[in-house]
Amino acid sequence: MTAQRVMITAGASGIGLAAARAFGKAGAAVFVCDIDEAALARLACELPDVKTAVCDVSRRGDVEHMVAAAATALGGLDVLLNNAGISGPTAPVEEMDPDAWDAVVRVNLIGTFNVTRCAIPHLKSSKSGVILNMSSIAGRFGYANRSPYCVSKWGLIGFTKTLSIELGQYGIRVNAILPGPVQGERLEQVFQGRAKLSGRSQEEETELAMSIQSLKRFVDPREVAALCVFLASDAGKSISGQALPIDNDALKAS
């Protein structure tokens, strides 16, 4: 079987890095872009076979250049993992900084659109093209004081469904993945922001987030990566147009 050719946005840390490791372990040829040059350098040391590029997905020109470079470096493209996203501010809508709102939408939604738009011609040439869009539990529930993030993650689900309908005729499968709270520095920053706004401690915010889950744990990035590899494999060849939670059975928004 020919090795899959996989492109991952924001693949130098967190879920993206876990996915790069998992796809590489599965025998795929991997291309990672990220805005963080230092993180890319660390990735290159750990996984020297992975090809990398610096890219700000909020800049259309950068995206167009990066996708072309990725397709050239890999000799084509079979799997696109749209993982790039930012958390954005924690504030009620009436107090939201419009520039901060715009920044979240530019990265999370418009950036994903542009990466996908540029990747589709290459995916059409694949025998089994796959697009995976990293949404969130915030794409299932509304979250007070997180409006730009929630809007962008709900939007990715609509984008996923539209793509699955448009691209099914080319054999391209498209799914959205909806992680719950994922262990790591970014989650700590979210809880810090919530604590500052609510007046509760960060520990109380952590306990509140855990309380609305049936399973009392946070998601390991490696678990999300394993789901990505499964959905991109032949085992997932009949799964498309879906929004798949991986959230320890979250029952509502915290």
Q: Which of 149, 154, 159, 218 is flagged as catalytic? A: 149
Distance, CA of 94 to CA of 187 (rounded, Å): 24
Region of residue 75 (phi > 0: left; psi between -120 and 50: alpha; otherwise: beta): left
Three-state SS for 218? coil
b/e 147-184 (16+ beta carbons within 10 angstroms → b): bbbbbbbbbbbebbbebbeebeeeebbbbbbbbbbbeb
Distance, CA of 182 to CA of 209 (rounded, Å): 11
How far does the chain reach from its first CA to its final CA, in angstroms?
44
List of residues 6+ apart from 77 with CB closer than 8 A = 5, 7, 70, 71, 119, 122, 123, 125, 126, 129
- How are beta strands 130-134 and 79-82 bridged, if at all? parallel
- How are beta strands 79-82 and 51-54 bridged, if at all? unpaired
Catalytic status, residue 143: no
- Give catalytic residues, as residue numbers: 149
